[in-house]
């Protein structure tokens, strides 16, 4: 699931105006690692340039929390008027009390205590959805992971169904929607500049609307009638549009970040067959058909959960974005109204003071036996403050169970090991053009250790 994302490359400039970047904010969005140290050199708040616009990047953790939680002073990206055609009247575009009221309405259905029994249904749904994954040719990983996650969210969280053709169309539309929203927001200060692929975005939005309506119509409520769609329907007072806008936001958010996490997980599994073998062994022990519901939890799958945390650390949303409603101060830095304020999650996740060998992919750093123990909360995977992802509890169960189920039934291999994987420019970065073979499992085939050199181990290009 996703809160809100919002970023540049370069080196510090003068002491009077420490600039981390000049006209490269979008490049930084794709490559947060290069700025982790330089942000510290620039101070708690770094004033940067993005073309003609000025942006402020917050480096101090306490200031990050202050900005991220200060809804009265700082506006979240999804509430920007430029995104009205996308957010509609749903909770994602609402602010203040209206936003809090809609979230409070959904909270009981999306709270962890209610979702603890989702594990077996996620396992079973994953197995069914994997039946449509080709075995004789390379698959487009971002599209297939979008299809898998969309199906899981619809079946297990939203308690509904969708036709296979519409599910496939929704998976293809995800990238267009994500990139379209990114560009609409990035170009909002210059409304006369046309956003790229506007027609494609409108068609993709139509696909999302069709999927939302079908999910709404095919919904099968829980026996107690307190699942999230039932709550939305009852709260709409026979005005389905109100419920549809919230349902559309939940559906898109439910797909976006989780599909990215699973796509990057596939990429890392292809690079590290030893980790793939370890997750498979853990999945065999935990995901049996007779496994009790309470066994299918992240704490029962530490190797899988640690793998996902490491994927999030290196490939998660690099920034959260806010804009001050009026002129204010962030620390000692004056910030004008409407300026872009970025919270560099990607840089903090590569902070060498927090993580040994920060550029190395090492899921074992999250092992229960590792010392010192790392806090998963420090990753802020679901944002913070009033815009904290409402579906975080669902994602915490869905993601590891889906990944373990995938590895248990398929062997993932890269099609061209020496190929550079680029990163897409979307709300949540995706491995652009990543294709892999997802062959049926070969239980006894030997797996060679993953690459060990720095050059072999990280062929991702972030342009």
Binding site members for heme: 389
Q: Give me the sign of the Cα torsion angle 290, 296, 302, 306.
A: positive
Cβ burial of 128 (10 Å; 0-12, 13-18, 19+) is exposed
Write out the H or E segment, with its range, that includes residue 428.
none
Angstrom distance (rounded) from CA 157 to CA 149: 11
Angstrom distance (rounded) from CA 177 to CA 175: 5
Structural tokens at position 13? 């400039």
Q: Kindly report whether the peptide bond that precedes residue 46 is cis, defined as omega within 30 degrees of 0.
A: no
Angstrom distance (rounded) from CA 151 to CA 415: 26
**Where on the phi/psi map is residue 23: left (φ > 0), alpha (ψ -120 to 50), or beta?**
left
Angstrom distance (rounded) from CA 313 to CA 355: 10
The set of residues, in sequence order, having a beta carbon less than 8 Å from that of 174 and lying 6+ positions away, is 143, 146, 150, 204, 252, 255, 256, 259
Beta bridge partners of 340: 55
Angstrom distance (rounded) from CA 115 to CA 396: 10
Angstrom distance (rounded) from CA 430 to CA 427: 9
Q: CA-CA-CA-CA torsion for 305, 311, 312, 316, nearest 10 degrees?
A: -160
**Where on the phi/psi map is residue 237: left (φ > 0), alpha (ψ -120 to 50), or beta?**
left
Q: Strands across the sheet with 139-140, in order?
A: 139-140, 435-440, 410-414
Angstrom distance (rounded) from CA 455 to CA 444: 30
164-186 and 141-152 helices, crossing angle to 10°: 110
- Residue 345: closest CA among 100, 15, 61: 61
Contact yes or no for 400/305 (Cβ under 8 A): yes
Angstrom distance (rounded) from CA 252 to CA 382: 15
Binding site members: 389
């Amino acid at each position: 699931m996703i809160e809100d994302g919002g970023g540049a490359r370069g080196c510090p400039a003068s002491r009077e105006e420490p600039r981390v970047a000049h006209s490269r904010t979008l490049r930084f969005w794709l490559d947060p690692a290069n700025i982790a140290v330089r942000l510290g050199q620039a101070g708690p708040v770094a004033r940067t340039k993005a073309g003609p616009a000025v942006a402020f990047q917050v480096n101090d953790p306490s200031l990050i929390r202050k900005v991220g939680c200060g809804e009265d002073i700082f506006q979240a990206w999804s509430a920007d008027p430029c995104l009205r055609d996308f957010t509609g009247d749903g909770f994602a575009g609402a602010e203040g009390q209206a936003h809090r009221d809609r979230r409070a309405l959904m909270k009981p259905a999306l709270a962890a205590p209610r979702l603890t029994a989702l594990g077996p249904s996620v396992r079973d749904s994953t197995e069914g959805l994997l039946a449509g994954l080709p075995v004789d040719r390379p698959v487009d990983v971002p599209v297939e992971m979008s299809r898998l996650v969309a199906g899981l969210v619809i079946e297990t969280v939203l308690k509904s169904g969708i036709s296979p053709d519409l599910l496939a169309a929704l998976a293809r539309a995800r990238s267009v929607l994500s990139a379209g929203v990114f560009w609409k927001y990035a170009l909002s200060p210059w409304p006369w500049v046309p956003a790229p692929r506007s027609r494609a975005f409108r068609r993709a939005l139509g696909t999302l609307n069709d999927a939302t309506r079908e999910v709404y119509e095919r919904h099968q409520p829980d026996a107690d009638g307190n699942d999230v769609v039932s709550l939305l329907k009852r709260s709409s007072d026979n005005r389905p549009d109100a419920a549809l806008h919230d349902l559309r936001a939940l559906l898109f958010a439910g797909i976006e970040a989780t599909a990215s996490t699973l796509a990057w997980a596939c990429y890392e599994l292809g690079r590290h067959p030893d980790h793939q073998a370890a997750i498979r062994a853990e999945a065999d022990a935990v995901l049996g058909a007779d496994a009790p519901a309470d066994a299918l939890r992240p704490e029962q799958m530490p190797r899988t959960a640690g793998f996902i945390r490491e994927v999030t650390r290196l490939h998660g949303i690099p920034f959260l974005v806010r804009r001050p409603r009026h002129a204010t101060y962030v620390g000692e830095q004056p910030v004008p109204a409407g300026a872009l304020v970025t919270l560099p999650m990607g840089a903090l996740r590569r902070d060498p003071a927090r993580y040994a060998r920060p550029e190395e992919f090492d899921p074992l750093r999250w092992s229960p036996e590792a010392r010192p123990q790392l806090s998963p909360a420090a990753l802020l995977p679901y944002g913070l403050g009033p815009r904290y992802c409402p579906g975080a509890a669902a994602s915490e169960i869905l993601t590891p169970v889906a990944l373990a189920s995938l590895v248990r039934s398929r062997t993932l291999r890269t099609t061209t090991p020496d190929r550079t994987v680029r990163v897409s420019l979307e709300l949540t970065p995706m491995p652009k053009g990543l294709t892999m073979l997802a062959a049926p499992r070969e239980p006894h085939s030997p797996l060679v250790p993953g690459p060990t050199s720095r050059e072999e181990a990280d062929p991702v290009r972030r342009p």
